């Protein structure tokens, strides 16, 4: 059981480049989310998905796209990287059963720098 796996762990991009951050989970979790972590701001929700084929925006969705074609995978796409997107990105997943209080399982994060 690998849990939540994020790749890559580190990435440096130039302004304007695009890239995809990968996230996969092997726990058959229905819910998956992407957060960004910035100093002094905690974690902020970018996008989330309640199941395959269903996605929605979080608190800070601008500049990012997601899709959920399978239960396991939830990639995050940066369309045209900007320095303001320099951050650490965390993917998380959880079950939907048992109500809204299921704890989330986090990946190890992707540290992204935009030059």
Q: Does 108 bind another protein (CB under 8 A)?
A: yes
Is residue 102 a contact point for another protein (CB under 8 A)?
yes
CB neighbour list of residue 82: distance below 8 Å, 6 or more residues apart: 15, 63, 114
Nearest to 28 by CA among 7, 8, 2: 2
Q: Is 27 in the site for another protein (CB under 8 A)?
A: no
Minimum gap (Å) between residue 33 Cβ and another protein: 7
Least separation in angstroms between residue 50's CB and another protein is 6
C-alpha angle with apex 96: 88 to 34, nearest 5 degrees?
Answer: 15
Round to whole Å and give the CA distance between 115 and 111.
Answer: 13
Q: What angle do CA 88, 27, 34 make, to 5 degrees?
A: 25
Answer whether 78's CB lies under 8 Å from 63's CB: yes
Nearer to another protein, 56 or 79 (CB): 56
CA–CA distance, 74 with 21 (Å, rounded to integer):
9
Q: Which CB atom, from 85 or from 94, has the smaller least distance to another protein?
A: 94
Residue of the chain from 10, 28, 97, 100 that contacts another protein (CB under 8 A): 100
The residues in 28-67 that bind another protein, with binding defined as CB under 8 A, are 31, 33, 35, 40-45, 48, 50, 58
List of residues contacting another protein (CB under 8 A): 4, 31, 33, 35, 40-45, 48, 50, 58, 90, 92, 94, 99-104, 106-109
């Amino acid at each position: 059981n690998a849990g939540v796996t994020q790749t890559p762990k580190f990435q440096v991009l130039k302004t304007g480049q695009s890239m995809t951050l990968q996230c996969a989970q092997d726990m058959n979790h229905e819910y998956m989310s992407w957060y960004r972590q910035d100093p002094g701001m905690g974690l902020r929700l970018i996008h989330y998905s309640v199941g395959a084929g269903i996605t929605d925006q979080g608190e800070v969705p601008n500049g990012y796209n997601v899709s959920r074609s399978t239960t396991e995978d939830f990639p995050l796409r940066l369309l045209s990287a900007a320095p303001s997107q320099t951050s650490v990105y965390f993917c998380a997943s959880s079950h939907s059963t048992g109500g809204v209080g299921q704890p989330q399982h986090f990946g190890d994060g992707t540290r992204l720098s935009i030059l």
